[in-house]
Chains A and B, each alone.
Chain A
Amino acid sequence: MAELLVADGLNKAFGPTPALDGASISIDAGEIVAVMGPSGSGKSTLLHCLAGIVRPDSGQVRYEGREVTAMPDRERSALRRRQFGFVFQFGQLVPELTCLENVALPLRMERVRRRAAEQRAMEWLERLEVTDVAGKRPGEVSGGQGQRVAVARALVTNPRVIFADEPTGALDSLNGERVMRLLTQSARESHAAVVLVTHEARVASYSDREVVVRDGRVRDLTGARRG
């Protein structure tokens, strides 16, 4: 499989403390990779760098051979809008918009007409089994429903990569499992790669492969095996 997203020797420090210290990772198209590690290990920073949200101090990120790290802000924004999808732990839905409008938002930002955008949003709400909350505001739905709405929003633009940062962090096991099952299922169906940042093994077990971030470096567990 082709390498879709590659990071090479990323360094990033916030103040005096390095968050990433020469981290490298490669993600193939359609692959689900779990990024694990203790809290503060730099997993989220790695995700932010990979997604082009944060520019690393040094090192390179390449997406489909294009150097993301060299792109101007506007171009990276467009990339994130069109090629990437995001699911965060909480607080990502715009509280004033209904769930349906939230899901339609990325399409509307790409100038899709409202009616068409909301129709597609509705299809995604169906796939994520949350059609009943379409007209509700995020404040009125449960955590699990909210996260499924967020997954629908991440997938609605048919992105090539989904970045999920502790998507089940605020959920109980059952709801977490459901979100993970639907997230990975939908990603596989639409051939999207997933970068899944989590510190929970059970969440990571939905992936095809795990890497561990420790002290700002990525350790490929399988690669570390000897003999």
Chain B
Amino acid sequence: MVYTPWCTVLGMSIGQTFLGLLESSPRHGYDLKRAYDERFGRTRPLPYGQVYATLSRLLKSGLVEVDSVEPGEGPERKRYAITEAGVTDVDRWLSQAEKPEPYLQSVLYTKVVLALLTDRPAADLLDTQTAEHLRLMRELTRRKDGGDLAEQLICDHALFHLEADLRWLELTAARLDELAREVRSHG
């Protein structure tokens, strides 16, 4: 199995995360960074550069728009708001299962928090992901059945990792209400 490096996974989802954060209310770039760091980037704050790069990419694809510009200079004066297309994108992203892969938790966590923030059904999201994980596990189990020992061991390795993810999904599902209260109280 080939594993996707961590940063790429992360990078792929910053855009959707911003969209999700913007969906609750329009924000300045600086606000966005702060909200993101607070919720998802505790150990690794987002560099400013990446914030504006991402925002401009989203602007270009029409997922966000500039809501208002305050008098003065510099990009931080712009306030961004999500567009219709942006909302649809968030929708699609949240309802789609991630490809079950190791170190997926951060993405999944982000998705759950955003779903809660935007009043989308987070439990469904978890179920969908669980189903996808299980589907892959079934596949691996079946492959294992026919394979030689090396194949079996490789499959087992993947199975154990997937199982760990599933445990996390289960635990999160069980604590969803608690998490929702916490997320909402942060505003």
Q: Is B82 an interface residue (CB 8 A)?
A: no
Q: Is A181 an interface residue (CB 8 A)?
A: yes
Residue contact A224 to B131, C-beta cutoff 8 Å: yes
Contact of A226 among B95, B163, B167 (CB under 8 A): B95
Residues of A contacting B163 with CB < 8 Å?
A: 200-202
Contact of B134 among A38, A204, A214, A219 (CB under 8 A): A204
CB distance from A222 to the nearest CB of B (A): 5
Residue contact A205 to B131, C-beta cutoff 8 Å: no
- Chain A: interface residue count, which band? 20 to 34
What's the Cα separation between A104 and B124 when bound, in Å? Answer: 46
Interface centre among B92, B95, B137 (most CB of A within 10 A): B137
Number of A-B contacts (CB under 8 A): 55
Contact of B131 among A206, A208, A222 (CB under 8 A): A222
**Interface size on B (CB < 8 Å)?**
25
Q: Chain B at the A interface: mostly helix, strand, loop or mixed?
A: helix
Q: Indicate whether A201 sits within 8 Å of B137 (C-beta atoms), given known contacts A181-B145, A226-B95.
A: yes
Residue contact A205 to B128, C-beta cutoff 8 Å: no
Q: Is B174 an interface residue (CB 8 A)?
A: yes
Contact of A201 among B96, B124, B134 (CB under 8 A): B134
Residue contact A207 to B128, C-beta cutoff 8 Å: no
**Which partner residue on chain A sits nearest B94 by CB separation?**
A226
Residue contact B127 to A205, C-beta cutoff 8 Å: no
Q: Indicate whether A210 sits within 8 Å of B124 (C-beta atoms), given known contacts A205-B140, A205-B159.
A: no
CB distance from B165 to the nearest CB of A (A): 9
CB distance from A164 to the nearest CB of B (A): 16
Q: Indicate whether A205 sits within 8 Å of B141 (C-beta atoms), given known contacts A221-B131, A221-B134.
A: yes
Residues of A contacting B170 with CB < 8 Å?
A: 38
What's the Cα separation between A181 and B167 when bound, in Å? Answer: 22
Residues of B contacting A219 with CB < 8 Å?
A: 127
Residues of A contacting B96 with CB < 8 Å?
A: 227
Q: Indicate whether A224 sits within 8 Å of B128 (C-beta atoms), given known contacts A38-B170, A201-B166, A205-B141.
A: yes
Residues of A contacting B124 with CB < 8 Å?
A: 224, 226
Residues of A contacting B128 with CB < 8 Å?
A: 221, 224-226
CB distance from A167 to the nearest CB of B (A): 15
Q: In B116-143, which residues have CB < 8 Å from any A CB?
A: 124, 127-128, 130-131, 133-134, 137-138, 140-141
Q: Is A128 an interface residue (CB 8 A)?
A: no
Q: Is A212 an interface residue (CB 8 A)?
A: yes
CB distance from A199 to the nearest CB of B (A): 8
Residue contact A210 to B131, C-beta cutoff 8 Å: yes
Q: Is B81 an interface residue (CB 8 A)?
A: no
Q: Indicate whether A227 sits within 8 Å of B130 (C-beta atoms), given known contacts A201-B137, A205-B140, A205-B141.
A: no
Q: Is B162 an interface residue (CB 8 A)?
A: yes
Q: In B164-184, which residues have CB < 8 Å from any A CB?
A: 166-167, 170, 173-174
CB distance from B187 to the nearest CB of A (A): 28
* Mask of A35-60 contacts with B, CB within 8 angstroms, 1/0: 00010000000000000000000000
Contact of B137 among A202, A221, A227 (CB under 8 A): A202
18 contacts between A and B (CB under 8 A): A38-B174, A200-B163, A201-B133, A201-B134, A201-B166, A201-B167, A202-B141, A202-B163, A205-B138, A205-B141, A205-B159, A212-B130, A224-B128, A224-B131, A225-B95, A225-B127, A226-B95, A226-B124
B residues whose Cβ falls under 8 Å from a Cβ of A: 92, 95-97, 124, 127-128, 130-131, 133-134, 137-138, 140-141, 145, 159-160, 162-163, 166-167, 170, 173-174
Q: A201-B133, A205-B140 are in contact. List 10 more A-B contacts (CB 8 A).
A: A201-B163, A204-B134, A205-B134, A206-B141, A207-B138, A214-B173, A221-B130, A221-B131, A221-B134, A227-B96
